[in-house]
Structures are given as structure tokens and as C-alpha cells.
Amino acid sequence: MAHYTNHLMLLFLATISFFSSTFSKDASSINVLSFGAKPNGKFDSTTSFLKAWSNACKSKESATFYVPKGNFLIKQVTFEGPCSNNIKFRIDGTIVAPSDYRSHGNSGMWIMFRNLNGFSVQGGTFDGKGDSYWRCRKSGSSCPAGARSITFSSCNDVKVSGLTSLNSQAMHIAVDHCKNILFKNVKIDAPSTSPNTDGFNVILSTGVTVSQAIISTGDDCIALSQGNTNVWIEHITCGPGHGISIGSLGAYKNEAGVHNVTVTDSIFEGTQNGVRIKSWAQPSNGYASNIVFRNLTMKNANNPIIIDQNYCPGDKSCPHQSSGVKISKVSYEHIRGTSACPQAINLDCSKSNPCEGIKLQDIDLVYGEGSTTSTCNNVGGINSGVVIPKSCVSLHSLNEK
């Protein structure tokens, strides 16, 4: 009898938990299953998601847009605001892109969140199914624009946590024109051979925080391009990937500068670069200033510390020109570990706009059994503490040819 009661009790509890997860008691919780979405990975749930979104967005009380466990096939879609409440997007399942890469057309987008104020995304896996698109790129045939997996455009006060992005066709997470956006505990995974699959790509945004991300991909783990201010990046594990990059800057004659960026407490493992600032070798009014790289560990990273102001791929459109981008007040503090090449520090600044206020402090970068070197062109700044390799930065190195 006791046995039987236990079973009944279990069944009762299981039923309760089934009902509370499927039809949350919270009246303003909007479950995509109620709008016809199917968790079988085959049924196109795009229209159901949009209907659910429209309901959640209209709600006067704060609404939860809920995606339960399972695989949901979703085509190119925009979750457009503004909404009447601070929507919470809670995802226990996986959002899957169509396996035919042509499905996104030439939009360059898969999932987009736009014009939203006060908004959060919790959990969820986004599987971009990028491999057939990368194969198209490699075969050299004409392919559509690669779709970025998740875009946040014109957003204020956004919190994204516990999200995973897999195998994006192009960038994984793109942020543009956002203010106060926090990413916490995000995981990004694509092969090292996948082209242009930046982990995060941020432009024209302010108050951007990325905390505790694990990023393995085929391009930059994080790329900050023009017009980003007040950016905080901490506890990142990057690799494989191209490192954390400010740039490319100076792509345009007229562009907004990058100001007040901190990258701290992070690890770079087998990356093509560690921390890089990169600008096109051509006229521009762009700039990068007040940048701090602190407490970073390099594990067999190529180019652990690099400034490249002579970027001009294929020597097309800008050969023998000089970058107009001004780089100033950049601090490298407490950076140690192993470099995959002897040249551990390479600061190649603009002839016409030399780097100023570069600081190297407590650096210890080694290369196998051999020693490491540093190279400077047009750099002015100071050293502090022990710097290995021997620093090429000095007040008078500014004028050295």
C-alpha cells in the first residue's frame, strides 16, 4: 500500500510539474506550443513564434516568452519592438536554422531583436547549421551573404544569460546601436576553419559588458569596431579563434571612435592573436583611446600583443598609405604565458598618427626554450615593472624609423 501511494504521489508530482512547465500558472507566460510550434525540429515554427511574440509584446503586464525543451525549426525572423512591457525570453530548448543555407536569402540575418527597451534572454541554444554555407564559401561558387545568427539592434537595457550559439553561418552575436547590454555565461562554438564566424561583433554601442564567455570559433572571439564606448570584457576563454580585437578601424573616412574599453581576467588558448588593435592604412578620423588589457593569460597564442595600423589586405585600395586612426592611452598590464612565435609584442603604429601613451607593465611572455622579442614602429609610451620580452617602447622610440 505504501508502495502504491508512493507511485500515486510520484505520478501526482510529475503531473503537476508537467502542467506547470507546459502551461505556466503565470497568466502572462506565453508558451510557443500554445501557438502551434512543434518541438520536433522539422515543423516550421516561425509563424507560431511570431504570433506568440505579438501577444507577449502587446501585454501590459511583464510577459515571459517561453520556449520549452525540444528542437524548434525557425526561419529568418525579427522580434520587433517597442513592446508594452519588459519581455523575458526564456528558452529551455534549441532553436534550429533550416539546413539549406539559401533559406535566409541575402538578408544576412537569421534571428534579430530590434527596437527593444528592457528585455532579457535566458538560456537557449541557437544552432545556425552553418556547415553547408561554409562549404559553399570554400568551393568558391557564388554564395549568398552569410547570415549572422543573433542580432541585437537598437536595444536599451538588455540582459542575455546562459545562451549558447553553435555553428553560425557568419557572426554569432552581432550588436549594433545598443545601450547597456550585458552578456553573461554565453557559450559560442564553431570550428576554427569556419570563415568570418566572429563570436561577438559590436558596433556603435555603449555600455556593453561580456562576462564569463567561452568562445571557440573561426574568427575573432570578440570584435569591437567603430563607435563603441564603455565596454567591459571579463573572464573570457578564447580559442581557437583570432583573439579579442578592436577593429578593423579606419574603414571609413568619417567614423566614430572607440573609447574606454577594458579586457580583463581572460585566457587565450591557441589563438591567432591575443589582444589586437587593427586599422586600415588609409585616411580616417577614427580613434581608439583609454583601452586597458589586464591580467591575461596566453597559452600558445600567436601575436599575444599586437597593434597593426598597416592593414591593407592584398595591398588593394590603400598601398603605401598611412592610417589616420589615432591610438592613445593603451595599457597592457600583467600579461603572461606562452607565445606561439618569437615576436610576442608587435606594435606597428601609423607614421602620420603615431601611437601615444602606450604602457607596458608586468609582462612575461615566453616562447618555447627561446627568447621573445618586441617590435615598435611609431610608438610613444612608458614601461613599468618587469617586461619580458625587453620592451621596445620608450619615450624616444616614437621618432625612430
Q: Is 259 a catalytic residue?
A: no
As measured in angstroms, the least distance from the Cβ of 316 to ligand NAG is 36
CA distances from 72 to 68, 80, 98, 132, 395 (A): 9, 20, 10, 19, 59
Residues that bind ligand NAG (CB under 6 A): 230-232, 260, 262, 265-267, 295, 297
Whole-Å CA distances, 5 to 15, 17, 393: 15, 18, 77
Listing DSSP states for 164-213 in one string gives: EEE--SS-SEEEES-EEEEEES-EEE--TTSTT--SEEEES-EEEEEEEE
Catalytic residue selected from 104, 242, 334, 396:
242
Residue number with CB closer to ligand NAG (79 or 183): 183
CA gyration radius, the chain = 24
Cα separation, 32 vs 19, whole angstroms? 15
Of 202 and 231, which CB lies nearer to ligand NAG in the complex structure?
231
Residue 67 to residues 29, 90, 95, 115: CA-CA distances in angstroms? 10, 6, 9, 21
- Render the burial of 78-105: b for 16+ CB within 10 Å, e for the rest: bbbbebebebbbbbebbbbbbeebebbe
Q: How far is the CB of 233 from ligand NAG (least distance, A)?
A: 9
| Of residues 85 and 260, the one with the C-beta less far from ligand NAG | 260
* Min CB(334)–ligand NAG separation in Å: 7
We find the least distance from the C-beta atom of residue 122 to ligand NAG, in angstroms, to be: 23
Question: In this complex, which beta carbon is closest to ligand NAG, that of residue 163 or of residue 267?
Answer: 267
Distance of closest approach, residue 198 Cβ to ligand NAG, in angstroms? 20
Alpha carbons 21 and 33: distance in angstroms, whole number: 11
Q: Could you tell me how many helices (H) and strands (E) the chain has, helices first? A: 3, 26
Under 8 Å between Cβ of 158 and 208: no
**Nearest distance from C-beta of residue 378 to ligand NAG, angstroms:** 27
Q: Which is nearer to ligand NAG, 29 or 237 (CB)?
A: 237
The minimum distance between CB 182 and ligand NAG, in angstroms, equals: 11
User: CB-wise, 115 or 295, nearer to ligand NAG?
Assistant: 295
**Contact predicate 372/356, CB 8 Å:** no
Residue at 225: amino acid letter: S
352 and 323 in contact (C-beta within 8 Å)?
Answer: yes
369-to-300, 339, 340, 342, 386 alpha-carbon distances in Å: 13, 11, 12, 10, 19
Q: Sort residue 9 into left (φ over 0), alpha (ψ -120 to 50) or beta.
A: alpha
Q: Which is nearer to ligand NAG, 154 or 209 (CB)?
A: 209
What the block records as the C-alpha cell of 118 is 528592457
Amino acid identity, position 150: I
| Smaller CB separation from ligand NAG, 123 or 207 | 207
- The least CB distance from residue 250 to ligand NAG, in Å, is 23
Residue 314 makes CB contacts below 8 A (sequence gap 6+) with none
Residues designated as active site = 242
